Amino acid sequence: MVLVLLRLIMLVLTRKLGESIAIDDHIKIVVVQIKGKQVRLGIKAPKETKIHREEVYRAIQDQNTEASKSDLSGLGQLTDDLHKK
């Protein structure tokens, strides 16, 4: 729910090299380098803040979805194979 809201009201800011954005009192995002199509960001945040590339979350979602489709019949062969020396 929260995620959906955030997506709807996305704040867009323009920043130059070396400039930064402050989020709450403790998080700071700095544009460290701009090179062609790539932007390098530096993130200063309290240790307990979780920071991941979004692809990581997507990869885990995909893995979960795939895992949830496993069924027992496939495991019969696995049991046989695993016990073969």
Strand partners, 35: 38
Between 13 and 71, name the residue whose CB sits nearer to another protein. Answer: 71
* One-letter amino acid of 70: S
Minimal distance, residue 36 CB to another protein, in Å: 24
Other beta carbons within 10 Å of 31: 16
6 binds another protein (CB under 8 A): no
71 binds another protein (CB under 8 A): yes
Between 36 and 76, name the residue whose CB sits nearer to another protein. Answer: 76
Other beta carbons within 10 Å of 18: 10
Which three-class secondary structure state does DSSP give residue 35?
strand
Please check whether residue 41 is in contact with residue 28, taking contact to mean a CB–CB distance below 8 angstroms.
no
67 binds another protein (CB under 8 A): yes
60 binds another protein (CB under 8 A): yes
Footprint of another protein on this chain (CB under 8 A)?
Answer: 47-48, 50, 52, 56-57, 59-68, 70-79, 81-83, 85
